[in-house]
Each structure stands twice: as C-alpha cells, then as structure tokens.
A and B are shown apart, each in its own frame.
Chain A
Amino acid sequence: MVVNVVYGDEIFQVKEPETVEEAVEGADVNPETVIVEMEGKVVSLEERIEGDEEIKLINVVSGG
C-alpha cells in the first residue's frame, strides 16, 4: 500500500503508513506545521489509513 502525500507542488509517496501522522512524517514534514485533508475533509493525525489514499497537507506556519 502506498499513500500519496501532496504538499504544495510536491508529491511524496509513503509506503505502508498506519496513520495520517506516519504518512506526514514519512514525507519528512513536521506534523505540527500542517493541517491534513483526506477526500476534501480535515482529518486528525491519529486517523488510520487502510488503502491507497491521497492526503493533502496545508501549511499553517506563518512566513512560509
């Protein structure tokens, strides 16, 4: 199972993450700095991932 993590213009492929948090960390992004959406809805970092999902990260840190 592979999860596509979309962050700005970049897409990271993360293998076998069990949770959203693991997918974010797998893309080398600090979970403290993003909000995560799956299928257009905000999800918590604890959300479990079961299939080939795509998740979108929204940067919440000021100044880029």
Chain B
Amino acid sequence: MSSECWKCGDTAVIHRKYEGKSWCSEHFQEQFESLVKDTVRENDLFENDDRVCVALSGGMDSSALLLFLVELFEDWKNAELIALTVDEGIENYRDESIEIAKELCDDLGVELHIASFKEEFGKSLDEIMEDKDYGCTYCGVLRRWILNKKSRELDADKVATAHNLDDELQSVFMNYLKGDMKRMVRLGAKPAVIDDEKFVPRVKPFRETPEKEIALYGRLRDLELHQTECPYVEDSLRFDVRDFLNEMERKRPSTKFTALRAFDKLLPVLEEKFSEEDPSIRSCEECGEITSGDVCKACQFRKEI
C-alpha cells in the first residue's frame, strides 16, 4: 500500500514531517517551485533586467538552480542568464561534474564559462595539495576570488549560488560556535552588499529550501546526480554541525525552519551591532581585487602554494 498525495491521492514521493503532508511528484515539484519563487520575491533577489551568473559546479544543487532560473526567467524578457564553472583541477572528481555542467548548459541553451585554478593561479588543486595537508581553506578562498573576478569580467550584475537551507544553517551554527559575529552578518538570502564596483553581489534563491528536497526535485526532473566525493574533503566542524542538525530534524521535525526563522529575526540586530560602519574596503596591492587588508587572502595563499 502506498502513501498518498494530500492533494490528488496519487502515490506520494515525499512525506514532509514538518508539515504533516505527503506529496506526489507533480504536486511536490509545483509547490517546490512556488516556495523558491516566494524566496526570490520576498528578498527582491533579481531585477527585471539583471544579467545573472549562476555558479555551476555540476552538482545536484547548482544544476537544479540553473534549471529553476532558466524557467523563471522565461517570463522575464530582459533578464539574462549565464553559467560559470570553476575548475579547481581535481582529477576524477571535478572533470566528471564539468561534463555534467556542459551537457546541462547545452540542453538548456545557457552560455557556460569555465575558469580554472591552473590558469588563474598557475597550479591545479591536485598540484597545490602535493605539499599541503588541508584543502578546503585554500579552495574556498581561491574559488570565491575567481567567482567574483570572472563574473565581473562577464558583466554579471549578480552571482546566484545554490546555497540551501542546510548550508546556511550550518554556517550560522559554525560562526556561533567560533564566536565569529562579523561573518554571521554576511549571511542571508542577499548578504549585505559590499559597496564597491568591483564586488559582484551574491544571491541565494535556495536559501530556504532543504537540501533533501533539492535533491528530490533534481531527481524527479531527471538531472544527473554526481555522487563522487571530493578527495580533499575534511572531517570538519561543518560535518559535525550538519550531523547534529540532521539528528535534531529527525527527532524534532521543523527544527531547521524554526532555527532559520529565529536567525532571520536576529540578523537585523546583528547587522546593526556588528556590520563595520565604514568598511575599509580597498584594492589588493597585488591583484586589484577587493580586500579589507593590503593584500587579499587569495594573493597571500598564492605565495604559499
């Protein structure tokens, strides 16, 4: 016997404990899209004439985001979409997901740009890791640097990233556990913009969407699932927090939504208290990208690698 969709009685593909309802494939997809549209509208994520660059890794979340935005922008005549993939240079991992990204962009008719660590920094992550023990710190900083620089060169007004509810909450808890309040105020669907023409603002349409539901949506829309794990992944604080939150959600459905809503109430207060009044944003002495010091983090790393 199967569990049934509360709307139409068809076989359900998901039972959401946090709302006590089961959904069939068709009604789940319809409702998923409508919730993401709510996030877009309520946070004013896009303007009608935006040129949006989607950060596309070829993973499920960013593939689903690109698909969603292509369909959303069908009604927005002056909005444009392009995709940008960062190739860190991780053999047997990134090359596979880049193929997925290429195929998807072909199917959807989206212009894809690929920028690589090798081209920008002279070394692939595989080469960097030959004499390093930890990768995620380097990788994150270098990837963000490329993302900002390339999307600006591509004339993008915004970068859309596939950060989901789980990612966002993990960041909230991690920053809290590390006592990093300044980083906390950089969260949100449309993080406070650094007022500098060199900075391309980032938006997160999936910020209120659980990771599991994005994966389900992608699966139901026949997106390819790239399941290989990054070889440099570390057993980090993020994983402890992730497992803790998933355990809480299992025991107490709706925990994640409640926690995110609580954070959203707190965010304006935190912004008032912890946003730097006059952030000392200037150009990096070495690369010209924005930084709050003399030399940006990416350039500091560039010397170490």
Interface residues of A (CB under 8 A from B): 30-35, 42-48, 50, 58-64
In the complex, which residues of chain A have a beta carbon less than 8 angstroms from the beta carbon of B14? 42, 44-45
Identify the closest chain B residue to A64 (Cβ). B229
Instruction: Tell me whether chain B's interface is mostly helix, strand or loop, or mixed.
Output: helix
1/0 contact string of B18-55 vs chain A (CB within 8 Å): 00001001000000000000000000000000000000
Assess whether B2 is in contact with A59, with CB atoms less than 8 Å apart.
Answer: no
Q: B92 interface residue, CB < 8 Å from A?
A: no
In the complex, which residues of chain A have a beta carbon less than 8 angstroms from the beta carbon of B69? none
Q: B287 interface residue, CB < 8 Å from A?
A: no
Q: B282 interface residue, CB < 8 Å from A?
A: no
Assess whether A32 is in contact with B13, with CB atoms less than 8 Å apart.
Answer: no
Number of A-B contacts (CB under 8 A): 75
User: Interface residues of B, CB < 8 Å — how many?
Assistant: 33
* Chain B min CB distance to A47 (Å): 5
Assess whether B3 is in contact with A30, with CB atoms less than 8 Å apart.
Answer: no
In the complex, which residues of chain B have a beta carbon less than 8 angstroms from the beta carbon of A59? 227
Assess whether B13 is in contact with A61, with CB atoms less than 8 Å apart.
Answer: no
* Chain B min CB distance to A13 (Å): 22
In the complex, which residues of chain A have a beta carbon less than 8 angstroms from the beta carbon of B3? 44, 46-48
Among B213-232, those with CB < 8 Å from A are 215-216, 219-220, 225, 227, 229-230
In the complex, which residues of chain B have a beta carbon less than 8 angstroms from the beta carbon of A60? 60, 211-212, 215-216
* Chain A min CB distance to B93 (Å): 12
* Chain B min CB distance to A29 (Å): 10
Assess whether B216 is in contact with A62, with CB atoms less than 8 Å apart.
Answer: no
